Amino acid sequence: MAIEQVGIVGAGQMGNGIAHVFALADYEVLLTDISEDALTDAVALIDRNLERQVSKDLITAAKKADAMKRIGTTPTLTDLGKTDLIIEAATERETIKTAIFEDLVPHLKPDTILTSNTSSISITRLASRTDRPEKFMGFHFMNPVPIMQLVELIRGIATDEPTFKACHGVVERLGKTSATAEDFPAFIVNRILMPMINEAIYTLYEGVGSVQSIDTSLKLGANHPMGPLELADFIGLDTCLAIMNVLHDGLADTKYRPCPLLTKYVEAGWLGRKSQRGFYDYRGDTPVPTR
């Protein structure tokens, strides 16, 4: 399958990062979002991030200019029907994702591959809401996309071999590394990472340690580049909660029960960096623990 035009649904943190790396790999990119302001902001952010790469001599100014020319935007979802590969990178809510695929299906070319950047939701179930489950798979990039090397490739029960090989080839062209995961809740990375974060939140909830002591302990005691609570804020506490709920519901094991404190923070709208408050308060010059 020849893939040259790529459609990306969602211009948020993941979507703009995916657009960035595809444009650098000489793919024609069409980015869509329901918000035109989000599209404008995404293109501006990609431009800044590419400029940062130029300043570090990672790419040339000419390469940056060429990449920016390859990125188009549209507020109309169905415009993506002409692309060869579509990557859905909308919010981690199954109802939103299935609605996107149902709207897209009537406008697709027969050989267009559909993928989801979901970090936890069943690929088989998402694929079943389309007309091409054999041409559907999980394409899970890590955040931040331009920096992180891994891409999880997840087959649904019906995904065929040509689709898998095509997506594997795309990962190689991007200069990234793929890991193949079975279609179980949260796949590999988040199946391991999110329970650790959830346990760190329980440690805070039970008064075992403060925000600062928990993060310092994991950074210096386990050589993690970020503490688990700092990382949760970076990911988004709403996303962490959504993934823990998928694990808890999908595996029916109480060890995946989301910490009540995580639920409380999300209910308060304290979602981490994107809302300026989470386990840290980011409204000042320096992040300050909120507990």
Q: Catalytic site residues? A: 119, 140, 152, 190
57-69 burial, b at 16+ Cβ within 10 Å, e below that, comes to eebeeebbeebee
182 by Cβ neighbours in 10 Å (0-12 / 13-18 / 19+) ranks as exposed
- Strands of the sheet containing 136-141, edge to edge, are 71-74, 28-32, 5-9, 85-88, 113-116, 136-141, 150-155, 177-181
Report the amino acid identity of residue 65: A
Residue 216 DSSP code: H
Which residues lie across from 141 on neighbouring strands?
Answer: 151
- Give the E-state strand segments of the chain in sequence order: 5-9, 28-32, 71-74, 85-88, 113-116, 136-141, 150-155, 177-181, 280-281, 288-289
The dihedral formed by the CA atoms of 37, 39, 41 and 42, expressed in degrees to the nearest 10? 160
1 by Cβ neighbours in 10 Å (0-12 / 13-18 / 19+) ranks as middle
